[in-house]
Amino acid sequence: MEGTLTARDKVGVQDFVLLDAYTSESAFLENLRKRFRENLIYTYIGTLLVSVNPYQELGIYTASQMELYQGVNFFELPPHVYAIADNAYRMMCSELNNHFILISGESGAGKTEASKKILQYFAVTCPMTESLQIARDRLLLSIPILEAFGNAKTPRNDNSSRFGKYMDIQFDFQGIPVGGHIISYLIEKSRVVYQNHGERNFHIFYQLLAGGEVERLASLGLEQDPQLYKYLSQGHCARESPINDRNDWKTVSNAFSVIDFTEADLENLFGIIASVLHLGNICFKEDKQGCASVPDTHEIKWIAKLLGVCPAVLLEALTHRKIEAKTEEVICPLTVELSVYARDAMAKAVYGRTFTWLVNKINSSLVNKDFTQKTVIGLLDIYGFEVFDKNGFEQFCINYCNEKLQQLLIERTLKAEQAEYESEGIEWEPVQYFNNKIICDLVEERHRGIMSILDEECIRPGPATDLSFLERLEEKVGKHAHFQTRKLAGPKGWKRIGWLEFRLLHYAGEVTYSTKGFLEKNNDLLYRHLKEVLCGSKNSILRECFLVAELENRRRPPTVGTQFKNSLSSLLELLISKEPSYIRCIKPNERKEPSKFDDFLISHQIKYLGLMEHLRVRRAGFAYRRKYEHFLQRYKSLCPDTWPHWHGPPGEGVERLIKYIGYQPQDYKLGKTKIFIRFPRTLFATEDAFEF
């Protein structure tokens, strides 16, 4: 009837595959908007879940919601992150294979929240025995600890993950969660010593000051006010209203007590955290010879006490450098600038390695040796594509990581799906998509890619600088279609690229990177002198982090870029052997506001998350496919010709069966070895018939 809104007009469709104008981006956007307006933040594209951050509590993560989604057919209930979790879980249990759920989207889109909801879902709904409750609690409580040490406030997200996280949840053969394992990727160490306006350092520093007991703070030589610490106050937002550091401290303290941390561990750990704050407050002054000196050694004394090192040796290591001449060591004084560099390098190294120690410690508490036969569901919550006003080495690594994950998605969905239709001889109109392998190669190719060029610049004898690195890039990859610099862009394009910058045309859009700091961050050098001090520390955590063997090993450690590249390639190897599920998170506006749907921002995300391509492949394709044998085995009782036994070829049996139960020609196609069913509803109807 005219003038009356149908439910579909009001709330849109819950699977984009059902959109009539499925090739139109504006129809896609409109559907998302309708649903968002009704607080329906989830929509499917087939089995992929699109989620829009509501920036408000919607009451959709209750125990009764969890119960609702348990063991129900995927498409029978409205889309939900629980449905994705439940589906992966049930497939894992029935097929005894490994799964992963890849959660992607830009900063603030809701990745970490989604991963937490999934973990909670498993914790509540999976079968459990009394003796395994502790394993479950540890899994859950590892999250606040990692967030305290690895997340920070940025302008885009008050709780932004500044490290990548892959977490395997391990299940025994009965589907009980028995343990886990976490791998962390590239924590943003530069934040320890510097934050832009509107940003904070990692949460743990503020939590300790706001919530730490008076005696604890006194024993660490700390005051409560974060403004007193240089490393905490540069972003001018040390106190931030939506963040309740004092409460968060309580959560983290409780988590520490459940996950095997002893009082001695905590004393050492917070000794390190406090030392970092003291380090930041060391002031250097230039003496008459132009060398650095420390007029007030108050901080040095505290650091020496907390780290168990000799204050005089520490002072010397911060203001001098050991140079190895032929037969002897020469000690040279540093300038103020170099001392500041050494101090910051020490703070970053100490924090970065302590974070790795923390992840290892959590992992050892999540190990469950009693269970050998395990299947896993992996959760990947990794930094999304980032474009800031100024983009540096960190953004370069993060965006490269996103290129690699896009490759995985292409390989596993767009490419694999189309290849299967081809091999099964199903008629098929190929869907075009941009394959970003060309950009991955530009970054990672051996000897020719940007990472290799950067590494070569880092080891080249003679004065390599950020400028010489840029010149090398121009020389070696200057002709690449996805690479530009001011010099190469020509009269039209040069204006928006600075002299020290290069631009990459990523699959998700253009990003201009400043080469400033690339060499230094890739090298990540800690003066040997300081390393020696740290290796001699009496703080047991630092002793595990800085091994004497490292001093004896004269070989250059791999650069940060190379380590990251290698860890990503192992991650992809790990994922490629598992069954995937995807969650694509969308950020609705830049202001963290509920109910605000910014068309421009969302369109951009739809584009670069490749949602339209995904929809086209899904829509043109088939939601379900089953081997003839399996299909027949399951449904043969529905047809007198195939029940109780069918002795002919399975394909023919399936043909008889589906004709008998009334499948329409447009609903399915028969391939060489499998039946392909276009929409889930066809299969549900068959399942229902089967139940009666």
Closest CA to 392 of 503, 517, 499, 559: 517
Tell me which residues in 20-59 interact with ligand ATP (CB under 6 A). 53-55, 57
Tokens at 449, concatenated = 């890619």
Q: Is 109 in the site for ligand ATP (CB under 6 A)?
A: yes
By a kind-dependent CB cut-off of 5 to 8 A, residue 144 interacts, out of ligand ATP, Mg ion, none, with: none
Nearer to ligand ATP, 113 or 613 (CB): 113
| Amino acid (one-letter) located at 246 | R
By a kind-dependent CB cut-off of 5 to 8 A, residue 107 interacts, out of Mg ion, ligand ATP, none, with: ligand ATP
Judged by CB under 5 A, which of 87, 115, 161, 395 binds Mg ion?
161
Cβ-proximal residues to 116 (8 Å cutoff; 6+ apart), any chain: 143
By a kind-dependent CB cut-off of 5 to 8 A, residue 585 interacts, out of ligand ATP, Mg ion, none, with: ligand ATP
Nearer to ligand ATP, 138 or 162 (CB): 162
Tell me which residues in 142-181 interact with ligand ATP (CB under 6 A). 157, 159-161
| CB 151 to ligand ATP: min, Å | 7
Tokens at 561, concatenated = 């870029």
Nearer to ligand ATP, 117 or 136 (CB): 117
Tokens at 96, concatenated = 């005894």
CA distance 413 to 416: 5
Window contacting Mg ion (CB under 5 A); options: 44-52, 161-169, 206-214, 533-541:
161-169
| Active-site annotation holder among 43, 51, 53, 112 | 112
> Could you count the other beta carbons within 10 Å of the beta carbon of residue 645?
7
Nearer to ligand ATP, 37 or 659 (CB): 37
CA distance 93 to 625: 19
Annotation marks residue 161 as catalytic: yes
x/- map, 188-227, ligand ATP, by CB under 6 A: ----------------------------------------
By a kind-dependent CB cut-off of 5 to 8 A, residue 109 interacts, out of Mg ion, ligand ATP, none, with: ligand ATP
Q: Is 395 in the site for ligand ATP (CB under 6 A)?
A: no
CA distance 16 to 19: 5
Cβ burial, residue 27 (10 Å; 0-12/13-18/19+):
middle
State whether residue 259 is helix, strand or coil: coil
- Residue 44, φ and ψ in degrees, nearest 5: -95, 155
Closest CA to 48 of 621, 472, 616, 581: 581
By a kind-dependent CB cut-off of 5 to 8 A, residue 384 interacts, out of Mg ion, ligand ATP, none, with: ligand ATP
Tell me which residues in 433-462 interact with ligand ATP (CB under 6 A). none
CA distance 567 to 5: 52
Nearer to ligand ATP, 157 or 195 (CB): 157
Closest CA to 585 of 382, 412, 403, 387: 382
Annotation marks residue 392 as catalytic: no
Judged by CB under 6 A, which of 31, 47, 107, 537 binds ligand ATP?
107
Annotation marks residue 112 as catalytic: yes
Window contacting ligand ATP (CB under 6 A); options: 110-118, 341-349, 371-379, 508-516:
110-118
| Active-site annotation holder among 160, 268, 399, 514 | 160
Annotation marks residue 384 as catalytic: yes
| CB 561 to Mg ion: min, Å | 23
Closest CA to 314 of 350, 287, 290, 286: 350
x/- map, 110-149, Mg ion, by CB under 5 A: -xx-------------------------------------
Contact of 15 with 44, CB cutoff 8 Å: yes
Q: Is 384 in the site for ligand ATP (CB under 6 A)?
A: yes
DSSP 334: P
CA 527 from chain centre, in angstroms, equals: 31
By a kind-dependent CB cut-off of 5 to 8 A, residue 195 interacts, out of ligand ATP, Mg ion, none, with: none
Could you give the angle at which helices 298-307 and 263-280 cross, rounded to 10 degrees?
160
Q: Is 585 in the site for ligand ATP (CB under 6 A)?
A: yes
Contact of 343 with 292, CB cutoff 8 Å: no
Annotation marks residue 160 as catalytic: yes
Alpha-carbon separation of residue 384 from 104, 182, 483 (angstroms): 6, 19, 21
Annotation marks residue 108 as catalytic: yes
Annotation marks residue 233 as catalytic: no
Alpha-carbon separation of residue 275 from 233, 270, 279, 429, 444 (angstroms): 16, 8, 6, 63, 37
By a kind-dependent CB cut-off of 5 to 8 A, residue 383 interacts, out of ligand ATP, Mg ion, none, with: ligand ATP
Contact of 143 with 119, CB cutoff 8 Å: yes
Nearer to Mg ion, 160 or 559 (CB): 160
Find the DSSP H helices in 126-175: 133-150
Annotation marks residue 157 as catalytic: yes
Residues that bind ligand ATP (CB under 6 A): 53-55, 57, 105, 107-113, 157, 159-161, 383-384, 585
Q: Point out which residues bind Mg ion (CB under 5 A).
A: 111-112, 161
Catalytic residues: 107-108, 112, 157, 160-161, 384, 386
